[in-house]
């Protein structure tokens, strides 16, 4: 039995297979519409989410399966003091596969150790968000035809943004990837990513504070929101929340084929005037998220 805790749980060739399957689903969704008949997905979300939880649920329904779960810790037995380990043992009796989001880093990993069904990490604190990374990679691969030879800019909250941490981990396995990190001083990438992931693997990276100073060099721009819920101090959040606003003027400095990605939700960091730009693919990303989660459910349930 396999779980998904980190994007690195799959080799790059396993990811290729997963993305091929997702693309096949995109082309011919009908072929897959009953394959999960009689199967149940549990979504256990101890932290708010709209996109990720509904994306999982939509994926399971599109495969002909059913869904049960909870969408916040207060409405689950966690509020009575039940441990994640006990919850997953119970869920294992009710469902065939489970997606867990939790504010504590490592909680889905603890759950997977006690589970008799596949567990998917749907985001753990500021740590990892592997299915968002699968979504990001499928979007890039589908729109650019490759996952190598890119200069990618990651902009915003690089300290707390788990989608950023997962994406960096995943992209370093592809050839000729160069990172440009754009953040205020207070929200730079954590030292463990800098030292253990980038420097250890000799991955080239540069750091900027101003987006205008580097946007023209980018093939991909990954915008992120400032992660309010991970701040200890509201004043600090307010000071930093509008540090970056991608607008038409900045887009005019970018390459004609640069893609703009964002895991969403967006707050102010991308002006709505950018939404109509052909380079803005963040809503397409949402659709790819459903295809890749469908492919993941089929793979973990070994239904193909
Ligand atoms: C991201 C998350 O939860 O980390 N959202 C998502 O899953 N699409 C990004 C965010 O909340 O900023």
| pLDDT at res. 82 | 87
109 and 164 assigned to the same domain: no
Rounded Cα distance between 211 and 218, Å, is 10
Rounded Cα distance between 300 and 260, Å, is 30
| pLDDT at res. 232 | 82
Q: Is the Cβ atom of 133 under 6 angstroms away from ligand 1?
A: no
pLDDT band per the 50, 70, 90 thresholds, residue 229: confident
25 and 92 assigned to the same domain: yes
**Between 124 and 75, the higher pLDDT residue:** 124
Answer positive or negative: Cα dihedral of 91, 58, 48, 288.
positive
44 and 110 assigned to the same domain: yes
Percent of the chain with pLDDT over 70: 100
**What is each CA distance from 172 to 34, 115, 168, 176, 303, in whole angstroms?**
36, 30, 6, 9, 30
Is 2 within the bounds of a domain?
no
pLDDT band per the 50, 70, 90 thresholds, residue 162: very high
| pLDDT at res. 81 | 83
Mean pLDDT of 37-44: 98
pLDDT band per the 50, 70, 90 thresholds, residue 288: very high
Residue 18 has pLDDT above 80, yes or no: yes
Residue 159 has pLDDT above 90, yes or no: yes
Q: Is the Cβ atom of 264 under 6 angstroms away from ligand 1?
A: yes
Compute the distance from residue 286 Cα to the ligand 1 centre, in Å.
12
Residue for token pair 């592997």: 130
273 and 166 assigned to the same domain: yes
**What is each CA distance from 141 to 149, 212, 282, in whole angstroms?**
12, 26, 14
* Among protein residues, the one whose CA lies closest to atom 12 of ligand 1: 225
Catalytic residue, chosen from 17, 51, 188, 255, is 51
Mean pLDDT of 59-84: 90
Residue 203 has pLDDT above 90, yes or no: yes
Instruction: Identify any residues that bridge with 44 across adjacent strands, giving them in sequence order.
Output: 70, 100
Mean pLDDT of the chain: 96
Omega before 265 cis (within 30°)?
yes
Residue 228 has pLDDT above 80, yes or no: yes
CB 88 within 8 A of CB 35: no
Mean pLDDT of 276-301: 98
pLDDT band per the 50, 70, 90 thresholds, residue 217: very high
Compute the distance from residue 239 Cα to the ligand 1 centre, in Å.
21
89 and 191 assigned to the same domain: no
Give the lowest-confidence range in 66-75, 113-122, 256-265: 66-75
CB 132 within 8 A of CB 101: no
Q: Are strands 119-124 and 97-102 parallel, antiparallel or unpaired?
A: parallel
Residue 29 has which token pair?
A: 């969704």
Q: Is the Cβ atom of 122 under 6 angstroms away from ligand 1?
A: no
Q: Please choose, from the candidates 105, 139, 135, the residue with its C-alpha nearest in 3D space to the C-alpha of residue 121.
A: 105
Rounded Cα distance between 62 and 223, Å, is 29
What lies within 8 Å, CB to CB, of 160 at 6+ separation is: 126, 187, 227, 230, 231
Catalytic residue, chosen from 52, 87, 139, 163, is 52
Rounded Cα distance between 225 and 265, Å, is 7
Mean pLDDT of 271-294: 98
Residue for token pair 């997905």: 41
97 and 158 assigned to the same domain: no
Rounded Cα distance between 108 and 225, Å, is 23
115 and 146 assigned to the same domain: no
Residue 75 has pLDDT above 80, yes or no: no
Rounded Cα distance between 133 and 168, Å, is 9
214 and 73 assigned to the same domain: no
23 and 73 assigned to the same domain: yes
Is 138 within the bounds of a domain?
yes
Residue 28 has pLDDT above 90, yes or no: yes
Give the lowest-confidence range in 71-75, 120-124, 150-154, 193-197: 71-75
| pLDDT at res. 6 | 94
Q: What is the DSSP string of 177-244?
A: EEEEEE--GGGPPPHHIIIIIIITTT--EEEES-GGGTGGG-SEEEE----GGG-S-HHHHHHHTTS-
Range of the domain at 250: 130-285
Instruction: Identify any residues that bridge with 128 across adjacent strands, giving them in sequence order.
Output: 124
Domain count, the chain: 2
Is 1 within the bounds of a domain?
no
CB 182 within 8 A of CB 208: yes
Q: Is 159 known to be catalytic?
A: no
Q: Is 102 known to be catalytic?
A: no
Q: Please choose, from the candidates 286, 190, 208, the residue with its C-alpha nearest in 3D space to the C-alpha of residue 250.
A: 208
Residue 150, φ and ψ in degrees, nearest 5: -130, 150
């Amino acid at each position: 039995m396999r779980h998904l805790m980190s994007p690195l749980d799959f080799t790059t060739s396993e990811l290729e297979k997963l993305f091929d399957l997702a693309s096949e689903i995109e082309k011919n969704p009908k072929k897959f519409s009953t394959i999960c008949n009689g199967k149940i997905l549990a979504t256990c979300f101890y932290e708010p989410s709209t996109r990720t939880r509904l994306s999982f649920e939509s994926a399971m329904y599109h495969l002909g399966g059913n869904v049960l779960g909870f969408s916040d810790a207060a409405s689950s037995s966690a509020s009575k003091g039940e441990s994640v380990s006990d919850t997953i043992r119970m869920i294992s009796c009710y469902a065939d596969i489970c997606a867990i989001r939790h504010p504590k880093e490592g909680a889905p990993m603890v759950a997977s150790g006690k589970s008799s069904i596949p567990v998917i990490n749907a985001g753990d604190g500021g740590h990892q968000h592997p299915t968002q990374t699968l979504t990001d990679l499928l979007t890039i691969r589908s729109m650019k035809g490759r996952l190598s030879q890119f200069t990618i800019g990651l902009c915003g909250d690089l300290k707390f943004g788990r989608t950023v941490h997962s994406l960096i981990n995943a992209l370093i396995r592809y050839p000729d990837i160069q990172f440009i990190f754009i953040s205020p001083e207070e929200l730079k990438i954590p030292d463990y990513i800098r030292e253990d992931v980038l420097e250890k693997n000799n991955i080239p990276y540069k750091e900027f504070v101003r987006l205008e100073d580097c946007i023209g060099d980018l093939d991909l721009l990954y915008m992120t929101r400032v992660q309010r819920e991970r701040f200890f101090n509201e004043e600090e959040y307010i000071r930093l929340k509008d540090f970056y606003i991608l607008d038409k003027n900045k887009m005019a400095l970018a390459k004609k084929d640069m893609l703009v990605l964002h895991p969403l939700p967006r707050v102010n960091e991308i002006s709505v005037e950018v939404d109509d730009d052909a380079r803005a693919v963040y809503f397409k990303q949402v659709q790819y998220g459903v295809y890749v989660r469908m492919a993941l459910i089929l793979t973990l349930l070994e239904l193909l």
